[in-house]
């Protein structure tokens, strides 16, 4: 029995080398290298998903047998595909779930925009630390390109993907030395409008909740700083709390300020969920919004108008954003020239930021 088993395994590895006049196929290279055809495809496309040793060995086999990728056939296959991959990165630190209302709104917008253009959507999640994995979705032929929601901390990885000609468009902030295409809202103006509104309603000790190390949040923080400076209010670093998107971060931010007896009468939270959770945490501490603390969020998710008190927020153009992302990716796949796009934001005033009462 053991001998029979070994003969079967041996037969699987042996491949027929095409006779003279027949073109070497990718499957033949795969058999010679002892790998799958998808690995050969990625290796010959210089994908980082294949280690250097395997990539070199496959390249040498292809070269010695005069094999090259049939670009025409590959392009024809991609043209027949009507699927676009939409990727929501998963960050193990924040554990921001795909059910986050902002993600849900953006996915709905993208699904509608793709349907109107006659395309299907393939939803996927990848580790935020390994954004290079999104290249596999296109290299394997599962999708013609990738729309990525969020840059996280990996600007360099995204530049590398763009330099490798991976068809990729990102919802996020436009950054210096950027080689990939982004579509996003005007975060700086949004941060300025939110903070300026709180100042105009009588607040002077305004806390910022969010992680400025993230590109989009960093730009909202820049707008916050500009508004303070414009109104002659000095920046107090103690009021800047690096709250993440994870559950409980707003409560920890509120607790930190109160425990240190840091006076604040306003909160600009870098997302609506952070703002809503902050309002809940303030309520638990006996503080009333907006009487004691005015709060402004960011995104204008559907729930914000039904929350109590209804949430003042910065509206991101989610519907236009989905359309712009799809149009940009299709233009990129068609080898058309395109540039990053910054969409306008606007302040939506509701109950959570009503003017604070004048001191007696």
Residue 40, pLDDT score: 83
DSSP state of 209: E
CA 98 to CA 202: how far, in whole Å?
37
Q: What whole-number distance in Å separates Cα of residue 358 and Cα of residue 360?
A: 6
Strand partners, 206: 266
Give the side-chain half-sphere CA count within 13 A for 357: 6
Burial zone of 322 (CB within 10 Å; 0-12 exposed, 13-18 middle, 19+ buried):
buried
Q: Report the DSSP beta bridge partners of residue 148.
A: 87, 170
Mean pLDDT by 10 residues, the chain (360 residues): 43 44 74 85 74 87 74 50 89 72 93 94 87 84 92 85 92 93 97 98 97 94 98 97 84 95 97 95 96 97 95 96 96 91 97 76
Query: 351 Cβ partners below 8 Å, 6+ apart?
Result: 290, 309, 310, 311, 312
C-alpha to C-alpha distance for 254 and 162, rounded to whole angstroms: 40
Phi and psi torsions of 168, nearest 5°: -140, 135
Looking at residue 302, its pLDDT comes to: 92
Q: Which two tokens stand for residue 175?
A: 């950054």
Q: E strands within 98-158?
A: 120-124, 146-149
Q: Is-contact 220 187, C-beta < 8 A?
A: yes
**Token representation of residue 23:** 């073109």
Domains recognised in the chain with CATH numbers: 2-69 (1.10.260.40), 82-185+318-342 (3.40.50.2300), 187-317+347-353 (3.40.50.2300)
**Cis previous bond, 311, omega within 30:** no
Indicate the SS3 state at residue 142.
coil
Q: Please state whether 203 falls in left (phi above 0), alpha (psi between -120 and 50) or beta.
A: beta
Q: Rounded to a whole number, what is the distance in angstroms from the first to the last CA of the chain?
A: 96
pTM given for the model = 0.77
According to the model, what pLDDT value does residue 3 have?
Answer: 46
What is the distance of C-alpha 266 from the center of its chain?
Answer: 29
């Amino acid at each position: 029995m053991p001998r029979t088993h070994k003969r079967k395994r041996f037969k699987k590895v042996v491949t027929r080398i095409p006779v003279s006049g027949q073109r070497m196929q990718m499957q033949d290279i795969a058999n010679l290298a002892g790998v799958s055809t998808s690995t050969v495809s990625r290796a010959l496309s210089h994908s980082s998903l294949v280690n250097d040793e395997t990539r070199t060995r496959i390249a040498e086999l292809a070269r010695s047998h005069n094999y090259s990728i049939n670009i025409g056939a590959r392009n024809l296959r991609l043209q027949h595909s009507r699927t676009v991959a939409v990727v929501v990165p998963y960050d193990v630190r924040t554990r921001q779930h795909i059910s986050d209302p902002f993600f849900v709104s953006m996915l709905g917008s993208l699904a509608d925009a793709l349907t109107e253009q006659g395309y299907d959507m393939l939803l996927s999640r990848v580790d935020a630390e390994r954004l290079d994995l999104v290249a596999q979705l296109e290299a394997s032929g599962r999708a013609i390109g990738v729309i990525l929601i969020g840059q996280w901390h990996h600007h360099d990885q995204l530049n590398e993907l763009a330099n490798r000609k991976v068809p990729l468009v990102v919802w996020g902030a436009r950054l210096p030395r950027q080689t990939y295409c982004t579509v996003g809202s005007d975060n700086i103006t949004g941060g300025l409008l939110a903070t300026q509104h709180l100042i105009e309603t009588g607040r002077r000790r305004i806390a910022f909740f969010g992680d400025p190390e993230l590109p989009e949040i960093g730009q909202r923080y820049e707008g916050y700083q500009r508004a303070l400076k414009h109104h002659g209010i000095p920046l107090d670093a103690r009021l800047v709390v690096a709250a993440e998107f994870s559950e409980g971060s707003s409560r920890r931010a509120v607790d930190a300020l109160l425990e240190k007896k840091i006076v604040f009468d306003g909160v600009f939270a870098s997302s609506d969920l952070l703002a809503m959770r902050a309002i809940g945490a303030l309520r638990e501490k006996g503080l009333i919004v907006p009487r004691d603390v005015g709060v402004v969020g960011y995104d204008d998710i559907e729930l914000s108008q039904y929350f109590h008190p209804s949430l003042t927020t910065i509206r991101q153009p989610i519907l236009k954003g989905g359309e712009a992302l799809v149009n940009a990716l299709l233009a990129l796949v068609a080898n058309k020239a395109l540039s990053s796009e910054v969409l306008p934001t606007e302040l939506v005033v509701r109950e959570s930021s009503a003017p604070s009462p004048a001191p007696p």
